[in-house]
Amino acid sequence: MAAALNVGRREQGRTWPNPAVGALVVRDTANGPVVIGRGWTARGGRPHAEPQALAQAGEGARGATLYVTLEPCSHHGGTPPCVDAVRAAGIARVVAAVQDPDFRVAGRGFAILREAGIGVDVGIGAAQALVDHAGHMLRVTEGRPHVMLKLAVSADGKVGLAGRHPTAITGETARGRVHMLRATHDAVLTGIGTVLADNPLLTCRLPGMEDRSPLRIVLDADLRLPPTSALARSLDVAPLWIVAAEDAPAEPETVLGAMGIEVMRVRRRPEGGLDLDDTLKLLALRGLTRVMVEAGPRVAASFVAAGLVDEVNLFEAPTVLGVGALDALEGLPLSALGDYLSVVEEQWQGVDRLRIMRRR
């Protein structure tokens, strides 16, 4: 199952609206178990992992075991149900990590397999599968994507110089890790404040992984995004969506729309800024499962305060920016992350410490 989970993560960030599933077909031989088929959800969500693993195994699948990281689907979506492919291949036993909460499946996949006389075991590797499939799970159960907040802070908890002037905080290794995180998320979301201060690209620029740049999203209530910004000028690398307020002016939308930038509108919050519940609901309806928030202190604090952060990747540099520099979360202490998230992993990325926190 650990190997199935590993192959399942291969296209993570590129399978939305579908989950990134992994599957292995394993045969017992005189020399022990042998993997004879491997599959993972393809870019765009199809084909699914199981038919690919079964096709690779061919006739060898008869009497073999299928390890799969999520319950095989039982409904006719864009592809025929995976349970049909499993039955037709003659698989004797299915070992699945977790049940799919999607109402079209929700245990029916397992029931169909059992009715066909196939042995079904569920729960092996479940803890990791729940992490890997968290985006899919949240989208189908709560109608919102999984939200991962990335923060790069100085030793004194600051994210920028006074006056919102950009500065590099973490080192080369940590920056590489951030690009890897971008590659494995469906979208990177930022605020217009960061766009105006830093003019970022928000692409994945790791050598050999340039085609893994995620969709970029900007929260920009009044449509202030400059058509000359790096984001607007890199649509050939990755698409750009802007979330604006319902009452934002129409003219900039016409200009940005003509460039190929999609503008969507949500309510403003009474206290200012866009309604984040509405924003996330909209993004889930559009198929997004994994959103990485890489924004300044205003947007970051809004997500934390609204209880909408599921995971934090907190990079802490050894440098000190000093009094007057920008706090990581506007109006909130950095310790507010601990209100509903706990550290699950700590590691070093070069000279910078990375703490991964998840919702309790």
Q: Which residues fall in the annotated binding site? A: 48, 73, 82, 152, 182, 194, 198, 202, 205, 294, 296-302
The smaller minimum CB distance to ligand NAP, of residues 208 and 272, is found at 272
Q: With binding defined as CB under 6 A, does residue 94 bind ligand NAP?
A: no
How far apart are the C-alpha atoms of 45 and 284, rounded to whole Å?
A: 15
The number of residues that bind ligand NAP (CB under 6 A) is 31
Q: With binding defined as CB under 6 A, does residue 334 bind ligand NAP?
A: no
For ligand NAP, which stretch binds (CB under 6 A), given 27-35, 58-66, 136-144, 292-300?
292-300
CB 51 within 8 A of CB 40: no
Peptide bond into 72 cis (omega under 30): no
Single residue of 221, 238, 242, 334 touching ligand NAP by CB under 6 A: 221
Q: With binding defined as CB under 6 A, does residue 220 bind ligand NAP?
A: yes
How far apart are the C-alpha atoms of 79 and 241, rounded to whole Å?
A: 28
3-class DSSP state of 160:
strand
Could you tell me whether strands 326-327 and 341-349 are parallel, antiparallel, or unpaired per DSSP bridges? unpaired
The smaller minimum CB distance to ligand NAP, of residues 69 and 302, is found at 302
Instruction: Name the residue among 192, 300, 199 with its Cα closest to residue 245.
Output: 192
Q: Which of 50, 253, 311, 316 is catalytic?
A: 50
Q: With binding defined as CB under 6 A, does residue 262 bind ligand NAP?
A: no
CB 23 within 8 A of CB 66: yes
Residue 142 appears among annotated catalytic residues: no
Instruction: Name the residue among 42, 48, 45 with its Cα closest to residue 71.
Output: 48
Q: With binding defined as CB under 6 A, does residue 64 bind ligand NAP?
A: no
Residues that bind ligand NAP (CB under 6 A): 151-152, 159-160, 164, 166, 169, 190-194, 197-198, 219-222, 224, 273-274, 276, 294-299, 302, 326, 330
